[in-house]
Amino acid sequence: MNTFDKPLQVLDCRWLLALYAIVPVSLALVLIDSLVLDGRLLRQHIPVDPMHWPFWTVIFGLPHIVASLLTMADSEYISHYRRSLLLPFVGFAGLTSLAIFGPQPLGEQSMFIFLAFYTIYHVLAQQLGLTLMMMGVPPSGVFKTWKWLSILCGFVIYVTVYTASLLGYELFAGVSAFEFLMAIAGLMCAAVIVLAFKLTKTSRNRIGVWYLWGNVAMLTSVLLIHEIGYTLFVILIPRVIHDITAFMIYITHDTNRNRAAPVNLIYRLTHFSRLPPIIVLPAASVAIAYVLTSLQDDYRLAVVFALTITLVHYYFEGFIWRGGNPHRQHIEFRR
């Protein structure tokens, strides 16, 4: 078959849904360890933060950000996006430089709050955007309310995970700041569940209903797991779902974009190997992310660069898969 005749590779939404299997598996492990084994299987052996695992920093977080940038190593894409990305890149570079090299600890603390909210927004906006696509409906007022309640709930959970040691003080009537924020998260989560029932009735596709409740299960599970005290799983569950989802989308896109001939720089350089994007993209992304992560220990400019590309990634992921943008023309979903 001539390469020009190769059909577009379609991403089956059932594979994206399958990633949510990590939610019941993680919840079951936590409940068994906490209620039956008194923490002997997990609590006594796992770190509080997966960042303490060397392999975690290499595989998750930065690699999928690098992968998204590698999809841009394409002359047509650069020409299309340069005007919309140049100013944000310069702005984010200035912002992160001020945070790292400016007055401390104000700079880093301000960056933490900004990055925390933007990270949660980015992660959940991706998953909830896919939910809307799978449901096959336009964004209603109920959906927008559901989306923002989910994002705010996720943000509160994120903040309490990373600032728990600072929230132990009494806020009022014997209630600590940590307990108060967790109660707020619980109320928002309850509202998310109620609105999900309403949204279920509007979905045109069954896969959309399953994906909708997959996201509800993810949010409620991490809240419960956080309350029990297994912080690692609070971070691990959404990170694994988000990053692997992103890689599946990027790999499918790159396979289709370069199916006739390699037009992306990465695939032109590796064309001699005949290796497909499912190997080339993760390998190149992990290698670049590893070098950049290693440099951050000794060079603050590397920290600035890593933060800048992270924020740029968050920004352009908000629109490149929509409408007539070239990225969207090279990926199809099977619902």
Report how far residue 139's alpha carbon sits from residue 136's, in angstroms, rounded to the nearest whole number.
10
Q: What is the mean pLDDT of residues 301-322?
A: 93
Q: Is 5 a residue whose pLDDT tops 70?
A: no
What percentage of the chain carries pLDDT values higher than 90?
Answer: 65
Q: What mean pLDDT value characterizes the chain?
A: 89
State how far the Cα of 176 lies from the Cα of 98, in Å rounded to an integer.
33
pLDDT at 134 over 80: yes
Model confidence band, residue 49 (pLDDT cutoffs 50, 70, 90): low
pLDDT value, residue 103: 83
What is the amino acid identity at position 126? Answer: Q
Query: How distant, in Å, are the alpha carbons of 76, 83, 118, 124, 191 from that of 323?
Result: 17, 17, 23, 20, 31
Task: Give per-residue pLDDT as tens, 64-111.
Answer: 999 999 999 999 999 999 889 999 999 999 999 999 998 888 888 888
What confidence tens digit (pLDDT) does each residue in 259-284 have?
Answer: 888 999 999 999 999 999 999 999 99
pLDDT at 109: 86
CA 36 to chain centre: 32
Identify the pLDDT of residue 1.
Answer: 41
Model confidence at 4: pLDDT above 60: no
Lowest mean pLDDT among 26-40, 52-66, 315-329: 52-66
Instruction: Look at residue 52 and tell me whether its pLDDT is greater than 70.
Output: no
Q: What pLDDT digit, counting tens, does each position of 212-229 carry?
A: 999 999 999 999 999 988
Please state, for a pLDDT cut of 70, what percent of the chain lies above it. 95
Is residue 321 a contact partner of residue 250, using CB atoms and an 8 Å limit?
Answer: no
At residue 286, the pLDDT reads: 93
The answer to whether residues 261 and 224 touch, using CB atoms and an 8 Å cutoff, is no
Confidence tier at 3 by pLDDT (50, 70, 90): very low
Structure tokens at 277: 């994007």
pLDDT exceeds 90 at position 38? no
226's tokens: 């956080």
HEC string for the chain: CCHHHCCCCEEEHHHHHHHHHHHHHHHHHHHHHHHHCCCCCCCCCCCCCHHHCHHHHHHCCHHHHHHHHHCCCCHHHHHHHHHHHHHHHHHHHHHHHHHHHCCCCHHHHHHHHHHHHHHHHHHHHHHHHHHHHHHCCCCCHHHHHHHHHHHHHHHHHHHHHHCHHHCCCEEECCEEHHHHHHHHHHHHHHHHHHHHHHHHCCCCCHHHHHHHHHHHHHHHHHHHHHHHCCHHHHHHHHHHHHHHHHHHHHHHHHHHHCCCCCCCHHHHHCHHHCCCHHHHHHHHHHHHHHHHHHHCCCCHHHHHHHHHHHHHHHHHCCCCCCCCCCCHHHCEEEC
The reported pLDDT for the residue numbered 45 is: 74
Which pLDDT does position 198 carry in this prediction? 95
Most confident of the following: 166-175, 193-202, 223-232, 317-326:
193-202
What pLDDT was estimated at residue 2? Answer: 44
**Residue 54 pLDDT greater than 80, yes or no:** no
pLDDT value at residue 258: 93
Helical pair 231-257 and 106-135, crossing angle rounded to 10 deg: 60
pLDDT of residue 120: 94
Please report which confidence band the pLDDT of residue 58 belongs to, taking 50, 70 and 90 as the band edges: low
